[in-house]
Every structure is written in C-alpha cells, then in structure tokens.
Amino acid sequence: MLYKSLAKPALFKMDAEKAHHLTIDGLAKTPRIPGALPLMRKLYGSPAASELHTDLWGIPFANPIGLAAGLDKNGQAVSGFSSIGFGFMEVGTVTPRPQAGNEKPRLFRLPDDLALVNRMGFNNVGADEMAANLRQASPYAIPVAVNIGKNKTTPNEQAADDYRACMRKLYPYGDFFVVNISSPNTPDLRALQHGDDLKHLLAAVLEERDEQRRIASSGREHSLAAPKPVLVKFAPDVTGEDLEYMVETAMASGISGIIATNTTVARDGLRHPNAKETGGLSGRPLTGRSTEVIRTIARLTKGQLPIVGCGGIFTAEDAYAKIRAGASLVEVYTALIYEGPELVRRLNLGLLELLRRDGFRTVSEAVGADVR
C-alpha cells in the first residue's frame, strides 16, 4: 500500500522515463545502505512454499514469477530486485557496444488502459559495462538471465556477430540467456524471426555458447560444465504459418525454450491518447493475446519445449492462465509499474491458493493443464 499511496502518485507526476531511472538508481543503491536489503525482503519477500518451487534446465526457481527484460537494462539493480520476492529476473536488452537508443520522449503511460508504450531502442551501456555490473552483483540471490540483442547500426546480415559478442562477453555472468529478435523498436529486427535468418542466428548463438562452455570448463578433469540455457523471445503479432515455422525452427535448433511474448504493435480497443505513440505496447491489452500464443506454442511443441509467459500479468489468475496454457515460468513488467513491489508477493500467494484449489501439488503439475 505504501507504493500506491505515496510513491506512485509522485512518480506518475514525473516524465515516465525520468521516473524509471529514479527507481532503478534507487534500487541500485540499496546494497550500500545498511539493513536495506533485509528490510525489503521482510516487506516484500514472497513465501517459501514447496508448491511454487520448480526446477528447469537444472536451475532451481523458488517461485515462477520473474522480472521481464527492459526494467534493469544494465544489470544495475540485481540485488534490489532480488529482494522483493521474484523467483528470477532478466537484465537487458544489452548490445555489444553502448548505444543511446531512440530520441526522447520514448516511454509513455496509458493509465486508462493499464498499459505502456515504449520505443526505447535498446538504450544500454554495452556488454562490457554490464559485465562489470553483474560481476559486482554476484553471487546472485536468484537466477539471472541476460537478454541480448544487436546494435541499431549493425545490418541484419551481420547480426549474428553482435549476438555472439554479447554471449562471449557475458557468458560467465548469466544463469541463462535470451535472444531478443522481437522488439519493434530496432529497425528490421523482427525480420530475424523469419526464414533462414532465424535458423542461422540461433545456430550461431548456440555455437558461441558451446565455445564459451568449453572455455569455462578448461581445467576440469573429467567433464564439461553443463551448457547454459538459451531461449528465444517471440513477438505476439506473429500468427498462423509464420508462428508454426518459427516454433519448428526453434525446436530443431536445440534452443532451450521460448519466451512468449514481447510487446505488440497492435492498438485495438485503447482509450488513452498516448495510444497514438509508435512503439511496443505492453500491459493489460496484451493479456489475452500472449496467453493464446503460449497455448499455440505448447500445442505445437507438445509440451517438449519450456515456455516463459510474458504479457499483461496483473493478477494471480492472469499468471495461472498462462501456466495452465503451457508456461513453466512467467514474467511481469508493466504491472510492477502500476501495482508496485507488493505485486510479486500477491501473485505468489494467489498462485498458491489456485494450485491448492485445483489439487496440484506443485506448479509444475499445472503447466499445460489446459492443452493436454
């Protein structure tokens, strides 16, 4: 309640991007304040419940609620976000070289629609500085995924080089990795989701992952270290045969999972004037569409490829619907802006109630219940 009564009114009077930076900078400073992290865990931490625990790719997750990429773009606030109840988080999207992103203003609230529009354009400090930030934050309290992309000035024909560079520089610091080819805010990026471009890109990323695995395993006497999982993030605007092909290509590549979905360029049914702004739309308008994409992917893969559900999760029922549609984990972003850090505990407590109501002993038992 502190967020909605005190912090949110002040933040929502500010420019959206200034409020974003103020929040991230504040969370980044919490490890240096004596007692701040334990206090945050006490105020906002999620319950330790065996029903919510899941193991995926050999990684233990205390609960299935994660932070989506885009909030902590530079890996500055890992310790802070790890203290408010999340089961995991993504940092990024990071590119090999620093870049300023698109011109401002580029982040817009749509409070009438419980939504955001952003056209940030992968603004970030670059892979080297992110590596330094993550090095300082380790060891992590929760699993951390690194979301990687390409620089705006890199042509698609050379995109694989950028993704390789990110993997090479950041491999020691990610528990798993996400290949972002679905942001609408980098010109022609979404073209990499289609045709042979997707096949070749995923092959290059996995080849680099395996090379970095060998380097990390040097000196081990008997075996290689386990390969770190690599996921690919799809847009919600792909349908029909295009989506089928993308899923088939992902499965054939040996990728570890799919994140569904990124932001949308659709604007159906919106009321707020900021709906006219170009960029990716996130939040409540995406709830149903992202769940439907998850359900489709789960059917196409027959449940053989883990899915991380993302898009419009505001309530435990929203998260549960994505889990029953086939998501093993779920992520929030926009709801955190509107609801505050109390959201994560509320989602986890609500999930516990829903699992017990339906007789599931663990969250893993509920995954894909509606598509089996």
**Per-residue pLDDT tens digits for 337-352:** 999 999 999 999 999 9
Q: What is the pLDDT of residue 170?
A: 98
Bridge partner list, 310: 331
Q: Is the dihedral of CA 187, 14, 18, 109 positive or negative?
A: negative
CA–CA gap between residue 54 and residue 304 (Å, rounded): 16
Q: In the CATH hierarchy, which fold is given to the domain comprising 2-366? A: TIM Barrel (3.20.20)
Q: What percent of the chain clears pLDDT 90, i.e. is strictly above it? A: 88
Q: Is 322 within 8 Å of 330 (Cβ atoms)?
A: yes
Q: What is the pLDDT of residue 181?
A: 87
Q: What is the H or E stretch that residue 310 is in?
A: strand 307-310
Residue 271 has a CB neighbour count (10 Å cut-off) of 10
Annotated active-site residue 183? The verdict is yes
Q: Is 68 within 8 Å of 121 (Cβ atoms)?
A: no
Local confidence band at 331 (pLDDT 50, 70, 90 cut-offs): very high
Q: Is 290 within 8 Å of 310 (Cβ atoms)?
A: yes
Q: What percent of the chain clears pLDDT 70, i.e. is strictly above it? A: 98
Q: What is the pLDDT of the chain when averaged over all its residues?
A: 94
CA–CA gap between residue 124 and residue 248 (Å, rounded): 32
35-56 pLDDT, tens digit each: 999 999 999 999 899 999 999 9
250-289 pLDDT, tens digit each: 999 999 999 999 999 999 999 999 999 999 999 999 999 9
- The whole-angstrom distance between residue 112's C-alpha and the CA centroid of its chain comes to 24
Q: What is the pLDDT of residue 3?
A: 87
Q: What is the pLDDT of residue 220?
A: 66
Is it the case that residue 1 has pLDDT exceeding 80?
A: no
Q: What is the pTM of this model?
A: 0.96
Hey, where are the domains in the chain? 2-366
Q: Across residues 173-200, what is the average pLDDT?
A: 86
Alpha-helix runs per DSSP H in 171-235? 195-216
Is it the case that residue 165 has pLDDT exceeding 80?
A: yes
DSSP string, 151-188: -TTS-GGGHHHHHHHHHHHHGGG-SEEEEE---TTSTT
Is it the case that residue 312 has pLDDT exceeding 80?
A: yes
Catalytic residue among 183, 253, 290, 328: 183
Q: Across residues 184-201, what is the average pLDDT?
A: 82
From the number of C-beta atoms within 10 Å of its C-beta (0-12, 13-18, 19+), residue 124 rates as buried
Q: What is the pLDDT of residue 196?
A: 83
Question: CA angle, 158 as apex, 153 and 164 as ends, to 5°?
Answer: 105
